[in-house]
Structure 1
């Protein structure tokens, strides 16, 4: 990757959403009693400073690891993906994953100091890729921005918006008070929300309006997935990004927010264009594989910041694949 660059933050361009669109993505709020109790429980955490949240995240993450909640899943994933690491190293990575997830939850609840200290002067790793993204956006078309459940992907979206990149986040319907808070944070930050049903058309429309689409590409999907290499093993992956790239003609960028203590560095790679048709190869699969490889490169550098608790290789590829 290119050397780091400090990039000034441009003006924010907020995105307008209809109330009907918000309702179908955010869902119905919890009942009065449930909502009251949830807010009562979350209020003390929401008022913590950045440093206090970090201390609490380390305590809660360490506790969850010690209690063994999905620890076996994380260690099995790590043993398969990183057999070259020692058992002690894999345990340390797994513990780091719990701390990362605790940070995500606590930062979702925050009423203040949600963004990393000094975010407006944060380094961008991948100078040429960032400049290429800015040049592409200047043409009036949006871009496809791909990330993973890594670091704090929610805050990364906010940082991109604050840097002047209008975003529409591809999301799933959410339930529960915590997930409601996450959805509300997205809207408050200025993100548009795209529901999975009819997503490709909505992505296409957003791109032509000059708005970029922000999507996670690291979860196993049970149906309609394409199988691409991820840490040396085929993993079921949504083809939505690659299909949208073909429909719109725009490339993808891999964008990851790497935690460095209390700060965040934005790692960006691209543009990653849809490959030309080639006999015996599916451009959708090939494009998905190229972008997934970009995600893997960053995760390999900072494995404790990825969600090893998820069964990424849950679904087996069809026989003969």
Structure 2
């Protein structure tokens, strides 16, 4: 059944990817009307997340922010499918790497150092991977969680690797990074997913008690790789720029938890600046901090 639905949907997905941007965004506006006003996809989750994250905002402000988020969400997924057919020149026109970020990545490549990139589900992270692979000298690997639907997973794999990006399944992260140690690489972790509470670092994030993955920090320490945080800023509809900031030059000698706290607080700052760009439909706070054992 999954295969039948996939093959029926595939021509429409490709048709969507071929639309000129002005027409694509008219379609996105239609998606927004259906998703927000008719389907109401996860609106309760989004509103609760926003209320807890921004307790100082009025209900009217939160509803406006909720609408802004759904508008962006309905742009994000068609933009992602655009990767199927977009040209290299158009990709680099719509998502640019800032000069400062390029300088950071070029310096590490010149020094012969592989790095770890850490980011959140913020802005168009799919386009950022494409732009990095088209612009930077390092081989980019992205750590991802394979989808259970093998057909959709195959489509996403094709999109994400089209411009030269490599993928590493989450369960194989450390093993594959060791295997790739002979090349100068950049391995990207999206570190704002929800870990199991017993294995997480607990911190305050967006005014809430929040578990954070420690895997990025632990692997950086083992590999002794510098860590670079990236921000994907939306300049206007369909246009982004990638900013970069070095979080740690000497990961192995940082105190435990320091790197995790740094990239979490940096993401929080970004979200507060452009809150509609974060993935609010995610049930980020479904776990409670485990009780301290006496």
Name the counterpart of 1:105.
77
Q: 1:206 to 1:98 in 2, by over 3 A?
A: farther
Q: 2:127 aligns with which of 135, 141, 155?
A: 155
Q: Residues 175 and 104 of structure 1: is their aligned pair in 2 closer, same or farther, counting only changes over 3 Å?
A: farther
- Cα distance in 2 between the residues matched to 1:134 and 1:257: 19
Distance 1:116 1:79 in 2: 41
1:34 Cα offset (Å): 3.9
Unaligned runs of 5+ in 1: 1-29
RMSD, aligned CA: 2.7
Looking at structure 2, the residues matched to 307 and 116 of structure 1 have their Cα atoms a distance apart, in angstroms, of 28
Q: Do the aligned partners of residues 118 and 307 (structure 1) sit closer, same or farther apart at CA in structure 2, a change above 3 Å counting?
A: closer
CA contact (8 A) 2:16 2:78 kept: yes
Pick closer, same or farther for the CA change 1:191–1:304 going to 2, 3 Å: same
Where do 1:47-196 residues align within 5 Å?
47-67=18-38, 68-110=40-82, 111-113=84-86, 117=90, 119=92, 124=97, 127=100, 130-164=102-136, 165-176=138-149, 177-196=151-170
State which drifts further: 248-257 or 57-66. 57-66
Deviations 1:114-173 (A, max 9, x none): 77957359665683x553332122222221111111121111110111112421010111
Measure how far apart 1:93 and its partner are.
1.8
> Structure 1 residues 194 and 64 mapped into 2: Cα distance closer, same or farther (>3 Å)?
same
What is the Cα deviation at residue 207 of structure 1? Answer: 4.9
Q: In structure 2, which of residues 160, 178, 195 is the aligned counterpart of residue 221 of structure 1?
A: 195
d(CA) in 2 for partners of 1:242, 1:143: 12
8 A contact 1:73–1:311 mirrored in 2: yes
For the pair 1:203 / 2:174, whether they are aligned, the reply is no
Identify the structure with the greater helix proportion. Answer: 2
Query: Do the aligned partners of 1:137 and 1:143 also contact (CA within 8 Å) in 2?
Result: no
Q: In 1, distance between residues paired with 2:50 and 2:260? A: 22
Q: What is the Cα deviation at residue 297 of structure 1?
A: 1.2
Partners in 2 of 1:76 and 1:94 — Cα distance?
10
Unaligned ranges ≥5, structure 2:
none
Q: CA deviation at 1:228?
A: 2.8
SS of the residue 1:65 aligns to: helix
Report if aligned partners of 1:145, 1:214 keep a CA contact under 8 Å in 2. Answer: yes
Query: Is this contact kept in 2: 1:228–1:288, CA < 8 A?
Result: no
**Other structure's SS at 1:227 match:** strand
Per the alignment, residue 21 of structure 1 pairs with none
SS in 1 for 2:7: helix
Equivalent position SS for 1:52: helix
Contact 1:168 1:206 in 2 (8 A): no
Alignment of 1:302 with 2:274, yes or no, is yes
Equivalent runs, 1:5-16 vs 2, <5 Å? none
Q: In the alignment, is the contact (CA less than 8 A) between 1:207 and 1:213 conserved in 2?
A: no
Alignment length (residue pairs): 286
Distance, in Å, in 2 between the alignment partners of 1:226 and 1:317 is 10
- C-alpha distance in structure 1 between counterparts of 2:34 and 2:246, whole Å: 38
Deviations 1:160-202 (A, max 9, x none): 1111242101011114444432221112121111112231232
2:243 maps to: 267
TM-score (norm 2): 0.86
